[in-house]
């Protein structure tokens, strides 16, 4: 862990504070930028993508000084009580309060039957279920103080329509989805807990092992009633709506261009 930026007392006073896990790029970065535009001080959490996180923080601090900070940590910190406590303290000490936590960090890769092992189970459940739960529990006292909220990034495959060959990921997101509903009950009325379920909003990195070829992309687009891939900003918009919606808790909004209506439990 490595706090890259320390705010001073006079900076950006009274701004609400949002932590977005895994937010150096892609959907997380879009959420950070949208929250920042609305006046939030933002904590950009990252693991491997520190350079992207620092660049994003510098851009935001250029727009409004002392309004963005970077925290680098493997979410495996939740496995060790002392490391979890240190992470929580680092987050709270950054701006002195916490109003919203967005569980965005995720691992996403297939685990076809016959290949499933403990490593996949641990990796996919850590980011997609275990860390969100243990971080939510640890941040509760601080969120309570602010009448704050938690928003979880889920998936339209987290219930009813599994993604073929992604059993462990599907199971982890399903657990995360149930966390949203369970904690919404347990944390009310002080803290609201909601979720956003993207469909296909950002394609896998073109140079990564999950990259989709042109034909696969076209097949996905044809399966989406809105006839296009979604955009990270469209997820951010729903996250910010849920942050503002003071009478909404335990809700999960699909932001998928209608794709969940056509899903057959596979790529298309
Ligand atoms: N992309 C989509 O269309 C889509 C569809 C359905 C659901 N979702 C959900 O929406 C969210 C955002 O999607 P995305 O595609 O933008 O996410 P992503 O790029 O797959 O992952 C976001 C970040 O998670 C971080 N992360 C992974 N393992 C970590 C660990 N052990 N410790 C700390 N951070 C870790 C990574 O940070 P570093 O790079 O810093 O290591 C990564 O950049 C995810 O929860 C995803 O499941 C997305």
Q: Is pLDDT larger for residue 10 or for residue 252? A: 252
Four-CA torsion 236, 5, 51, 86, nearest 10 degrees? -80
Does residue 220 fall inside a structural domain?
A: yes
d(CA 97, CA 92): 5
Report pLDDT for 145.
98
CA distance 214 to 185: 43
User: Is 267 contained in some domain?
Assistant: no
Indicate whether 73 belongs to any domain: yes
- Spell out which residues line ligand 1, taking CB within 6 angstroms: 22, 24-28, 46-49, 74-76, 104-108, 126-127, 153, 155, 198, 200-202
128 closest CA partner among 147, 149, 155, 150: 155
User: Does the residue 268 lie in any domain?
Assistant: no
Is residue 168 situated within a structural domain? yes
Tell me which residue has its CA closest to atom 39 in ligand 1.
49
| Domain total of the chain | 1
Write the pLDDT tens digit of every residue in 85-121: 999 999 999 999 999 999 999 999 999 999 999 999 9
Q: CATH number of the domain that 158 lies in?
A: 3.40.50.720
pLDDT the model gives residue 2: 42
Could you list the residue range(s) of the whole structural domain that residue 121 is in?
A: 2-262
Res 10: pLDDT: 40
């Amino acid at each position: 862990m490595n706090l890259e930026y320390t705010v001073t007392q006079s900076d950006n006073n009274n701004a609400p504070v949002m932590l977005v896990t895994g937010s150096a790029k892609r959907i997380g970065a879009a959420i950070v930028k949208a929250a920042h535009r609305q006046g939030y001080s933002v904590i950009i959490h990252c693991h491997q993508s520190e350079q992207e996180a620092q660049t994003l923080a510098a851009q935001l601090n250029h727009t409004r000084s002392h309004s963005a900070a970077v925290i680098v940590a493997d979410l495996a910190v939740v496995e060790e009580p002392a490391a979890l406590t240190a992470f929580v303290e680092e987050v709270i000490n950054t701006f002195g309060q916490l109003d919203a936590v967005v569980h965005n960090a995720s691992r996403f890769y297939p685990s076809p039957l016959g290949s499933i092992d403990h490593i996949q189970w641990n990796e996919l459940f850590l980011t997609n279920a275990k860390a969100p739960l243990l971080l939510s529990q640890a941040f509760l006292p601080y969120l309570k103080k602010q009448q704050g909220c938690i928003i979880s990034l889920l998936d339209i495959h987290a219930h009813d329509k599994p993604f073929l060959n992604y059993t462990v990921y599907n199971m982890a997101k399903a657990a995360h989805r149930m966390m949203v509903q369970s904690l919404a009950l347990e944390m009310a009325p002080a803290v609201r807990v909601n979720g956003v379920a993207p469909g296909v909003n950002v394609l896998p990195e073109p140079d990564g092992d999950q990259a989709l070829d042109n034909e696969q992309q076209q097949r996905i687009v044809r399966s989406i009633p809105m006839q296009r891939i979604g955009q990270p900003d469209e997820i951010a918009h729903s996250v910010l709506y849920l942050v503002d919606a003071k009478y909404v808790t335990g809700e999960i909004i699909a932001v998928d261009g209608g794709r969940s209506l056509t899903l057959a439990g596979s790529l298309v």
